[in-house]
Each structure stands twice: as C-alpha cells, then as structure tokens.
Structure 1
Amino acid sequence: MSSTRDVDLAHIIDTSPMSALQKRAVALCLALAVLDGIDAQVIGFVIPALSEDWGVSKASFGLTLALSTGAMVVGSLVFGPIADRYGRRKVIILCTLIFSVFTLATALVTSMTALIVLRIIAGLGLGGVTPNLVALVSEYSPARIRATAVTVTIAGMSLGGFVGGFAAAFLIPEFGWQSLFVIGGVLPLGVAAVAMKWLPESVKFLAARGENGRAAQIVAQIAPAAGMSESVRFTQDVPTGSTSPVGALFARGRAIDTVLLWTVFVINFLVIYFLLSWMPTLFSEGGQSASTALLAASLFNLGGMTGALTFGWITDRIGNGYLVVMAGYTLGAIFTGAVASLLGNGPLLLVTIFIVGFGMSGSSAGIIALAATVYPVAVRATGVGWAMGIGRVGSIAGPSVGALLIAAGMDARTIFLLTIVPTALAVATLAVMAARSRRRARLGDLVTVVEQAPAPAP
C-alpha cells in the first residue's frame, strides 16, 4: 500500500519547462482574449452604419454603450465567485457561449430595444470571461514568465479590437453592419468547441478542492519525471479560501493611497472606453471616411497592445512603474491634442492615433501592476480586485459622457481636446502616489538603519 506524499505544486510548475498542455492552455486563452476584444468593441464599430441604416442619431446609442459596459462589470463580479466554486474552465466556456450566441443574434435586430437587451446579455458573458482567462493563464504559467504571459493575454484583447476595427473597415461597406456581428458570433463559437475538448481545468483549482487524482494526471503531463500517482497530496503556494476584508485597504495609512489609486483607475477606464466607444463616430464627424475612421480605431487598439508589452518590458528593467505609466499617459495626452488638429489629414491621423493608443491604452496594464505594489501580500488580491471594480465606474461613465457631448452639438476637435483634462489629472494623481511611495521607502530605510545600529556601550 503506497503512502501519501506531499508535493509542492507551485514548485513543479515554476521549475519545469513549459509543457504542451501549458502551451495549449495559454494559446486557447489568448485566442479567446482576442475574440473577447473583438466582441467587446463591436458595437462601437457599427454605430455609424447603424445610425445611417436606422435613421437615428449617433448619440442615441449612448444608453446601449453604457448598459452593455455595465453588464460587463456585473459579469465579472458574478462569474468570479462562480468560477471559484465550479472551476475556471467551465465558466470560460459558458461565458464564451453566452457572448458569442447573443452577439450572433444581434445581426438580426431591427430596433434599439432589442439591441440593448442582446448587448446586455452578451456583456455579462464578456465580463465573466476576462478575469478567468487571466487567472487560468497565471495559474498555468511558471513564475519566470508569468507576468509576460498575463500581459500578452491582456494585450490580446487590444489585438482583438485592432482586428475587429480592421475587419469592420472592409466588411461593413461590402456586406453591411450585420456581417460584423456574424463574425463576432461564429468565431468564438468555434474556439469554444475546441476549448471544450482541449482546455484543461486549473490544476491549482483542482488541488485546492482536494481532487488530487485529476490534478496528478495534469501534473504528470507538465512534469513527467515527477512520478505522479493518485496517492500524492498537493500543497499550495497560497492559502486557499482566505479573504482579506475591504477595510484593510484603508488601514495602516493606506486610505489615501487607496483613494488615489481608485481615482486613476476610474480616469483610465473613462478615457479608454470613451475613445473605444466613440472614436469611429468622432472621426466620421471630423470628415474622415467610414473606412478610415474604423482603421483609426483599430490602430488605437494595436497601439495599446504594443504599449502594454513595451511598458512592461521597460518597467522590468528600470523598476519605476510610476514613471513609466506617467510617461505613457503624458505621451497619450500630447498626441490626443495632435489628433484634434489632424482630423482632416487621414494618413497622419492614423499614425497619431496609434501613438495615442500606445500611451493611453498601453498604460492600462501598467496601473494594474502598480496596484499590486501599493498593498502588502495579505490584502493584495482584494486591493487589485477592488481597484479594477471601482475603475469600471469609468467604463460606464465614458460612453455616457461621450453621448452627452455629441448630443450637445460639440464638434469632434473640442471633444478630443477635452479628454486631455482627465488624463492630466491621472498624471498628477500618479505623481502624488509616487512621492508617497518614495517617502515610505526612505522611512523604511531609516528604520532599517536604526534597527541595525550597534547598541550603545554600557
């Protein structure tokens, strides 16, 4: 009779070469992230065509944008706990089926009411997919490449926006706005079918639930030399089932930093979702053709993906995330001003909007990384999760503010210039946070020096 032996699961994943199973899991998550990015932005791409087809104002789509974005928030809050109970894989596949089926159904809508209902249900699925893709990639990636793998997955959503905008520029004039919803529904359905067969459940989730037999079968594929059997008992690198109270985010002098961090997140989501939702419409209003407007929106996403990867690489080398993100926002703000003056120049506009995406959207991944440094390990998950949740208020407000400005008759140039104001506020807020971080570091060094000083002679 074999005796039970303890196995450090994190150590095996961190020290073993990437197996075919891990590569397959990450690749499928990346593919789903790209499709998530397409479907999350598809409504923004079709507003100009829908407005013309239905004979309604572009501003009238503001409620649709706000409610669909709000549904994403609800989806992330609802499906997170469900995934913790039933598994990442099941929730990823379920949510993909939800957003793909209801995106496909949107190709048949003929009224604003039907559009709103279908986009709300699709938004629930879209919101549920995103955090679980990131979690699964993180749990299957070795520590040495974990940050890169997660960053690439997040950037995959921007890549989806780029692909979607590029496709919209060619599909809508040729086949109508319905074609984009057909593509946005059929492709994820196909990948979901592949995921049902090939996407593994999180091995850490299985081990945490005590399903050692299933976990051992997966670990045997990750590290064949480890000699797995069903008699093993896995130890976790992080205590499972533990939670940190939200009140801890405001304890021990962290209240100011928490409020400042939430402010940056709200501004970030407000500006990004405002631009993603209304950019094609504003470029059309500024005199660009529908195809050029959609290409510009897709280049914004490509810039965001490039910026996220670049800023992550720079931060790893200079070690000052505050400086990198502040530089990214500043770059984005400067070139947003350039966009306002180049609305009539198609080629230069395309280059400029890529740089805006590089700075603005590229900095989004940076502030998530910064959030993790604000809090100690014991409250880090709660701190990052709540920062993203509170920040989503901005993702609802952004499209709504855009609708109000357009309905008020404000021209595209003025609207783009106005986005510089909240971006400048984000830079100023980050500067305050950076100063507070340096002050804490100096105090920490001073305490260390005092503690290490030799005791006075008696």
Structure 2
Amino acid sequence: MSQIQRINVRSFIDERPLSRYQFIIITFIFLVIAFDGMDVGIMGFAAPEIMRNWGISKQEMGSVLSVVFLGVTAGALIAGPFGDRYGRKLVLVCSVFVFGSLTLFAARSTDVSSLLILRGMAGLGLGAALPNAVALMVEYAPHRKRSIIVTIVYSGFTAGAAASGLVAAWLMPTYGWQATLATAGILPIALAIVLAFALPESVVFLTLRKQNIESIPSILKKIDRAAIIAPNSEFWAPTLVKQSAKPLTILLTKQYAFVTALLCLAYFMGVMATYIMVNWLPVIAKEAGFSLRQGAIITATITLGGPVGSICIGAIMDRMRPHWVLVLALLVAATFSASTSVALNNFGFLCIIMFALGCFFHGSMTGLQALSATSFPTAARATGVSCMHGIGRVGAICSGSIGATMMNRGWALSEIFLALAVPMVISALAIGLLGVRGRHVRDRTEDNSAGHPTTTAMTSYES
C-alpha cells in the first residue's frame, strides 16, 4: 500500500516564489481596496455640486459625508465573524457588490434623506470589504514577503482616493455629479462579478474548515504548476485553536484579548489623527496664512508620502521585527509632527516635513494592517482585523468634533500638529507592548507551528 502524501498548505505557499496566480490575487485585492478608497473619496468631490444643485447647507452635506463612517464601523464589526465562518471570498464579493450597487443608487437620489440612507448603507459594504480582503491576502502571501504585499495592496486605498479626483475632474464638468457617482458604483459592481468567478477562497481556510476540499489540489497546482500532488493526498494546516470555536470567543481568550485591545487602541489613535489631518489640513493651512493653492499642495504632499512610506516600511517589516519597525516609524512621525513650527515661514520646508510625516505615519498605519492580520489565527483572523477596523473607525467619527474644537479654540497649525503627536506616541506604545508580549510567544504562531496538525482535511486528486 502506497504511503499517503501529507501536504502542509501553509508551508506549500511559504516555500515557493510568488506565482502568476498569486499576482492575479494581489491585483484583485488591490482593486477591491482601490474602489473602496474611490467610493469614500468621490463624495468629497461631488459635495459642492450637490450643495449647489439642491440648495442645502454645509451642515446637511456634512451629515451625508459623515454617515458613511457609521456604516463602515458597523460593517467592519459585523463582517469579520461572517468571513471566519462562511469564507473570505463570499463576504468580500457580497460587500463589494453591495457598496457598488448602493453608490449607483445614490446617483439617482433626489433629496438629502435618500442620499443619507444610501450612503450609510454603502458604508456597511465598505467596512465589510477591507478586513476580509486583508485576511485573504495574508493567507495567500508567503511569510517572507507578507508585510510588503499587504502594504502594497492596502496602498490601493490612496490610489483609489486619488483616482476619484481624476474621475470627478473628467466627468463632473460635462455630466454632473450623478454620472460621477454612477461610475464609482459601476466599477465595483463589475469587479464583484469578476471576483465571483475568478477569485479563489483562501486555501488555508478551506483546509482548516474542511469546506470545498476538492478544490484544494487545483488551487495548489495553480500556485505551482510543477507540484506533484498524489491521489488521495492529505492536506493540513497548523493551527493553535479549535476550528469549532467561535471567532469572538477566541478573541476573548487570555492569549488574544490583550492583542486585540492593543491593536484596537493603536488603530483608533492612528485613524483619529489621520482624519484630523486629511479633513482639516486645508482649513488649518488657510488659517495659518497659506493660500488655497498652497494648502492643497501641503495636503497633497502628506497624502503622497503614504504609499512611499507604506512600501518601504512593509519591506523592512519582512526583514526585522515588525513591531519595533512600526514603533520606530511612529516615533519618527511624532517628531516630524511636533516640529512643524520650525517651518511655518518656509513653504518649501513645510512641504518636505509633511511629506516625511506622510511617509512615516501613513506608512505605519498601513503596516499595522499587515501586523494585525498576522496576529490572529486563521479561525479568527477576519474577526480580529474587523474588530480593529471597527474600533478604528470610531476614531474617524471622533475626528470631526476634535478637529472642530481645535479650530474653534484658535489653535495654530503648529499647536494642532504638536497635539497630533500625542496619539502617534500612544499608538507606538501600544504596538511596543504588543512587541514585548510577542517576544514571549513568537514561536506559538501558525506559521511556526510544527509537528502534527490540529485539524486535517482529506481529499482525492485525479490527474
């Protein structure tokens, strides 16, 4: 009787170079996150035209712009457990289709009330997409390149936000805000249809959950065409938790509760500081005496620094202890933020500081996506990431009132950025504590697990 071939699907992915099939998956996830960013950004460009056409106040438009964050928060918190139970692909495809459809419907809105409802519901899809996209990407990325791959695909959010400006500039003058919103809705709908047929479910998830196990050999063969997979092979993946355990129950265990709390704290502080900068920087720059053009350039430089920093930090995270890479980057970002006062009289120097701030701060926040996804077991990965995203979005909601309070008290640009250094330091401290704890448990991860599998899936492969 021939010996049964036992294949660790996690090691199968880790031991091989990136294949063309994995590059296709990377492209799909990049587009998901890019369209997510486009959807969020497009309303900012459509807002002035909507206000002019409907004759509504800034307060009413502000409600439309902010309600999406309530939906994003709820969507992120809800979607994680569904992704861990029913699969990343199913939730991802549904969420992309939902936010695309609701944005398309929003283009047909005729009053504030309907637009408010549709944007809030679209937020559910937007919030549900990101955690499952990150979880799926992590499970197809080799361990040695995981951080840089996640940071690259998550940079799609910035690319999508930038693309929304180009779409608005192209369509709005001729076709109006309705066509602009419709385009931002049609693109993700088309992507969702493609994903439904072309995007694979996580092979690690399938193995551990024993779902659709007949597809495992074909997925592995697409990753490595030269791989020899014998009939009746046994597929397994190391895991530290029981697959029957509920994801939320896993997060509340002694091993993961502390991890979850620290990641949520770090992301909450980071997102709050991010949205204060992004939403209020043009106003802050104007109050500081800069022209509208200069204010736009200052805002653009800090945004453009994000993708550059994300890729660099992601690459370094793959070569060094990721916790300490992020701690150092956040402390450097806090230093740049606190030092803006030295450049207030020099526009060029201020732009350089803002670009550096964007590199280190936005790059750290993107790196945190990779860190969070590798901090949880497969059985609770989407739930853990979604919990971090959900709590983080509360920071986005709080950013509006905090920024307004700073402005109403007459704080100068230097004082505001000095204050923003505080949440950056708190994020660094939270990640540092996570790193100290991780030093004692670093060998107890699914990537480093050896020996007998906790969960095994069996399938037959006919060549």
**TM class, shorter-length:** 0.7 to 0.9
Match for residue 447 of structure 1? none
> Whole-Å Cα distance in 2 between the matches of residues 189 and 222 of structure 1?
27
Displacement of 1:236 after TM fit?
0.8
> Whole-Å Cα distance in 2 between the matches of residues 118 and 399 of structure 1?
21
1:130 aligns with 2:135: no
- CA change 1:162–1:377 in 2 (3 A) is same
After the TM superposition, which residues 243-258 of structure 1 pair with which residues of structure 2 at under 5 Å, given as runs? Answer: 243=247, 244-246=250-252, 248=254
After the TM superposition, which residues 354-365 of structure 1 pair with which residues of structure 2 at under 5 Å, given as runs? Answer: 354-365=355-366
- CA change 1:250–1:187 in 2 (3 A) is closer
Counterpart AA for 1:94: C
Match for residue 198 of structure 2? 198
Match for residue 421 of structure 1? 419
Q: Secondary structure in 1 aligned to 2:108?
A: coil
Q: Secondary structure in 2 aligned to 1:7?
A: strand
8 Å CA contact retained: 1:165, 1:294: no
Q: Secondary structure in 1 aligned to 2:109?
A: coil
Match for residue 275 of structure 1? 277
Match for residue 84 of structure 1? 84
> Whole-Å Cα distance in 1 between the matches of residues 370 and 363 of structure 2?
12
1:430 aligns with 2:428: yes
8 Å CA contact retained: 1:162, 1:302: no
TM-score (normalizing by structure 1)? 0.78
> Whole-Å Cα distance in 1 between the matches of residues 194 and 256 of structure 2?
44
1:331 aligns with 2:331: no
Displacement of 1:183 after TM fit?
2.6
Match for residue 395 of structure 1? 396
8 Å CA contact retained: 1:203, 1:218: yes
1:139 aligns with 2:139: yes
> Whole-Å Cα distance in 1 between the matches of residues 414 and 178 of structure 2?
29
> Whole-Å Cα distance in 1 between the matches of residues 286 and 113 of structure 2?
25
Identity %: 30
> Whole-Å Cα distance in 1 between the matches of residues 421 and 238 of structure 2?
38
8 Å CA contact retained: 2:269, 2:427: no
Of 20-29 and 268-277, more deviation after overlay is shown by: 268-277
> Whole-Å Cα distance in 1 between the matches of residues 63 and 269 of structure 2?
20
> Whole-Å Cα distance in 1 between the matches of residues 438 and 27 of structure 2?
40
Counterpart AA for 2:309: G
Match for residue 40 of structure 2? 40
> Whole-Å Cα distance in 1 between the matches of residues 377 and 207 of structure 2?
22
- Residue deviations 1:135-169, cap 9 Å, x none? 11111122221221111111211222222234445
> Whole-Å Cα distance in 2 between the matches of residues 415 and 422 of structure 1?
11
Q: Secondary structure in 1 aligned to 2:234?
A: strand
> Whole-Å Cα distance in 2 between the matches of residues 4 and 438 of structure 1?
41
Counterpart AA for 1:122: A
Displacement of 1:327 after TM fit?
0.7
- CA change 1:11–1:353 in 2 (3 A) is same
- CA change 1:136–1:179 in 2 (3 A) is same
* Runs of 5+ consecutive residues of structure 2 not aligned to the other structure: 443-463
> Whole-Å Cα distance in 2 between the matches of residues 204 and 168 of structure 1?
40
Displacement of 1:213 after TM fit?
1.2
> Whole-Å Cα distance in 1 between the matches of residues 438 and 202 of structure 2?
37
After the TM superposition, which residues 57-68 of structure 1 pair with which residues of structure 2 at under 5 Å, given as runs? Answer: 57-68=57-68
Displacement of 1:94 after TM fit?
1.1
Q: Secondary structure in 2 aligned to 1:108?
A: coil
After the TM superposition, which residues 150-169 of structure 1 pair with which residues of structure 2 at under 5 Å, given as runs? Answer: 150-169=150-169
- CA change 1:384–1:21 in 2 (3 A) is closer
After the TM superposition, which residues 193-232 of structure 1 pair with which residues of structure 2 at under 5 Å, given as runs? Answer: 193-210=193-210, 211-228=212-229, 231-232=232-233
Match for residue 455 of structure 1? none
After the TM superposition, which residues 272-351 of structure 1 pair with which residues of structure 2 at under 5 Å, given as runs? Answer: 272-279=274-281, 299-316=301-318, 319=321, 320-321=324-325, 322-335=327-340
- CA change 1:441–1:230 in 2 (3 A) is closer
TM-score (normalizing by structure 2)? 0.77
Displacement of 1:360 after TM fit?
3.0
8 Å CA contact retained: 2:4, 2:234: yes
Of 324-333 and 168-177, more deviation after overlay is shown by: 168-177
Q: Secondary structure in 2 aligned to 1:226?
A: coil
- Residue deviations 1:404-430, cap 9 Å, x none? 667x5x77x747842531432432563
Q: Relative contact order (alpha carbons < 8 A, sep ≥ 6): 1 or 2 greater?
A: 2
- CA change 1:349–1:20 in 2 (3 A) is same
Counterpart AA for 1:137: M
Match for residue 266 of structure 1? 268
Matched residues, number: 430
Displacement of 1:90 after TM fit?
2.0
> Whole-Å Cα distance in 2 between the matches of residues 130 and 439 of structure 1?
27
Match for residue 27 of structure 1? 27
- CA change 1:401–1:431 in 2 (3 A) is closer
- CA change 1:367–1:87 in 2 (3 A) is closer
- CA change 1:377–1:13 in 2 (3 A) is closer
Displacement of 1:383 after TM fit?
6.8
Of 57-66 and 379-388, more deviation after overlay is shown by: 379-388
Of 427-436 and 215-224, more deviation after overlay is shown by: 427-436
Counterpart AA for 1:234: F
Counterpart AA for 2:137: V
> Whole-Å Cα distance in 2 between the matches of residues 44 and 35 of structure 1?
15
- CA change 1:259–1:187 in 2 (3 A) is closer
> Whole-Å Cα distance in 2 between the matches of residues 112 and 200 of structure 1?
39
> Whole-Å Cα distance in 2 between the matches of residues 31 and 309 of structure 1?
17
Displacement of 1:182 after TM fit?
2.5
> Whole-Å Cα distance in 2 between the matches of residues 190 and 11 of structure 1?
34
CA RMSD, 1 decimal: 4.0
Counterpart AA for 1:427: V
Match for residue 457 of structure 2? none
